[in-house]
């Protein structure tokens, strides 16, 4: 089956479930084909707010799926098709809403458009008929579209996001129907945290992400997502405590992630916090269950994790657990298999790898924040541990 035949089948199958249209653009963002009956009107909604330019810029350097949103709350799934290093096509699925949107909010957004009254009425009618697709389904459609193009399987953590400000909040309520995500999925996710299951990513990729979240905000999609991640933080911390993590550490972590969630300005940042948070809880429980660290050594490991961007000394750790420096060093090496200095070095490199996902930070800035004496020393240590320089790793990660 050719790629064209695969995409045609994919588009028709999605259309049979939801009124979601598939669009094919050239590398210059000129429309090539679509199964949308009113391509001029609906295509115009995508071209608003420089979405074409933003998507083209993203597609020049990436091939993983991207979830896009505009100020209406409209969302699209896009996957660039790249041959070798060249961009050949961009495939777009949508638009849709990821959460129910009030009529008043739509009217406010449409009223600001530079269009005739007749066209605005058509836009309003179209927006009212758009499907609400749960974020889980959106991820699954993106994974399937990527597989059609490349024949490769990816996970939710491979998604990228590009969004505008959320639609304004409306004053009046409207009744809406909700379908919650499966209880079985939630139980399985919490079990993996409780067990410290390091294979949780692989297992999650095989679970169906059906349903949509319950109402957690008053019409603001951004607030809805933040509240959902906050709920996850609370559930993860409780599951981690059940798995053996001390309540003090679990609650300290929860407070830390609450702050990160509230500081997130985009869905991309929020998604990064959510994935980092789950992995953090899983790894901490795994470490406790697999190594059976003594309480003082576990406390030292947690202190290092919480203060990894600071200059951590043996004296600080010794004072915290009331051991002599000599005894603590010997005990730490016996239980973890690493010296305190080596453990801190590896943790700093792990944090550097996480920080490299933030394209706004330079390698030099990351090195300074983590206390490396120079950028060249960070590069040397990073390559020694991961086989690539920080810049090379960042480029590989986002291809």
The confidence band for 6, taking pLDDT boundaries of 50, 70 and 90, is very high
Tens of pLDDT along 85-128?
A: 789 999 999 888 876 555 566 667 677 676 777 777 877 777 77
Residues 202 and 298 in one domain: yes
Residues 158 and 226 in one domain: no
Q: How many CB atoms lie within 10 A of CB 295?
A: 9
Q: Six-digit token pair at 89?
A: 């096509």
pLDDT of residue 184: 54
Instruction: Find tokens 């915290």 and name the residue.
Output: 320
Specify the 3-state DSSP secondary structure of 121: helix
Q: Is the pLDDT reported for residue 212 higher than 60?
A: no
Give the structural domain span for 42: 3-162
- Residues 6 or more apart whose CB falls under 8 angstroms from that of 14 comprise 20, 22, 93, 141
Residues 230 and 322 in one domain: yes
pLDDT of residue 88: 93
The DSSP annotation for 139-186 comes to HHHHHHHHHHHHS----GGG-EEE--PPPPPPSS-------PPPHHHH
Instruction: Find tokens 């993860």 and name the residue.
Output: 236
| C-beta separation of 198 from 104 below 8 A | no
Compute the distance between CA of residue 339 and CA of residue 380 in angstroms, rounded to an integer: 20
Residues 69 and 142 in one domain: yes
Q: Six-digit token pair at 53?
A: 């330019």
Specify the 3-state DSSP secondary structure of 198: coil
Backbone angles phi, psi at 53, to 5 degrees: -65, -40
Higher local confidence (pLDDT), 2 or 111: 2
Residues 90 and 36 in one domain: yes
Q: Six-digit token pair at 304?
A: 């290092």
Q: Is the pLDDT reported for residue 173 higher than 50?
A: no
Q: Is the pLDDT reported for residue 32 higher than 80?
A: yes
Residues 263 and 212 in one domain: yes
Backbone angles phi, psi at 264, to 5 degrees: -65, 130
The least confident of 15-19, 20-24, 87-91, 102-106 is 102-106
Q: Are strands 160-162 and 66-69 parallel, antiparallel or unpaired?
A: parallel
Tens of pLDDT along 43-85?
A: 777 765 567 888 888 888 888 998 887 766 778 899 999 887 7
Share of residues in the chain with pLDDT > 70 (%): 80
Residues 221 and 352 in one domain: yes
| C-beta separation of 157 from 201 below 8 A | yes
Residue 398 is assigned to a structural domain of this protein: no
The model carries a pTM of: 0.51
- What mean pLDDT value characterizes the chain? 80
Compute the distance between CA of residue 396 and CA of residue 101 in angstroms, rounded to an integer: 38
Instruction: Find tokens 């429980």 and name the residue.
Output: 285
Residues 143 and 194 in one domain: no
Q: How far apart are the first and last CA of the chain?
A: 26
Residues 105 and 235 in one domain: no
pLDDT of residue 181: 45
Compute the distance between CA of residue 185 and CA of residue 177 in angstroms, rounded to an integer: 21
Backbone angles phi, psi at 8, to 5 degrees: -65, -45
Q: How many domains does the chain have?
A: 2
């Amino acid at each position: 089956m050719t790629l064209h035949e695969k995409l045609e089948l994919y588009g028709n199958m999605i259309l049979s479930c939801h009124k979601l249209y598939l669009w094919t653009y050239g590398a210059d963002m000129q429309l090539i084909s679509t199964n949308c009956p009113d391509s001029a009107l609906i295509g115009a909604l995508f071209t608003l707010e420089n979405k074409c330019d933003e998507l083209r810029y993203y597609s020049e350097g990436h091939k993983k799926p991207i979830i896009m949103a505009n100020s209406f709350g409209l969302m699209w799934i896009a996957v660039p098709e790249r041959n070798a290093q060249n961009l050949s096509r961009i495939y777009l699925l949508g638009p849709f809403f990821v959460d129910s949107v009030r009529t008043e909010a739509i009217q406010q957004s449409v009223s600001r458009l530079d269009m005739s009254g007749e066209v605005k009425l058509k836009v309003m009618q179209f927006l009212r008929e758009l499907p609400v697709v749960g974020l889980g389904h959106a991820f699954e459609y993106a994974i399937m579209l990527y597989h059609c193009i490349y024949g490769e399987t990816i996970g939710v953590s491979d998604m990228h996001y590009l969004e505008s400000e959320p639609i304004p909040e409306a004053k009046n309520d409207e009744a809406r129907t909700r379908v919650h995500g499966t209880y079985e999925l939630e139980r399985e996710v919490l079990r993996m945290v409780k067990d410290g299951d390091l294979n949780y990513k692989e297992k999650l990729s095989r679970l169906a992400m059906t349903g949509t979240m319950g109402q957690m905000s008053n019409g603001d999609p951004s607030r809805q997502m933040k509240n959902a991640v906050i709920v996850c933080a609370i559930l993860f911390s409780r599951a981690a405590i059940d798995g053996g993590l001390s309540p003090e550490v679990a609650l300290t972590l929860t407070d830390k992630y609450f702050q990160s969630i509230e500081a997130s300005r985009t869905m991309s940042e929020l998604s990064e916090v959510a994935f980092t948070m789950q992995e953090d809880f899983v790894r901490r429980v795994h470490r406790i269950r697999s190594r059976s660290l003594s309480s003082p050594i576990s406390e030292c490991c947690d202190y290092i994790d919480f203060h990894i961007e600071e200059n951590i000394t043996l004296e600080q750790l010794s004072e915290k657990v009331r051991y002599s420096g000599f005894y603590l060093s010997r005990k730490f090496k016996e239980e973890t298999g690493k010296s305190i200095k080596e453990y801190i070095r590896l943790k700093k490199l792990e944090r550097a790898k996480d920080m490299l996902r933030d394209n706004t930070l330079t390698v030099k800035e990351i090195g300074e924040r983590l206390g490396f004496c120079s950028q060249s020393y960070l590069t040397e240590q990073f390559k020694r541990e991961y086989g690539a320089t920080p810049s090379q790793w960042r480029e590989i990660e986002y291809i």
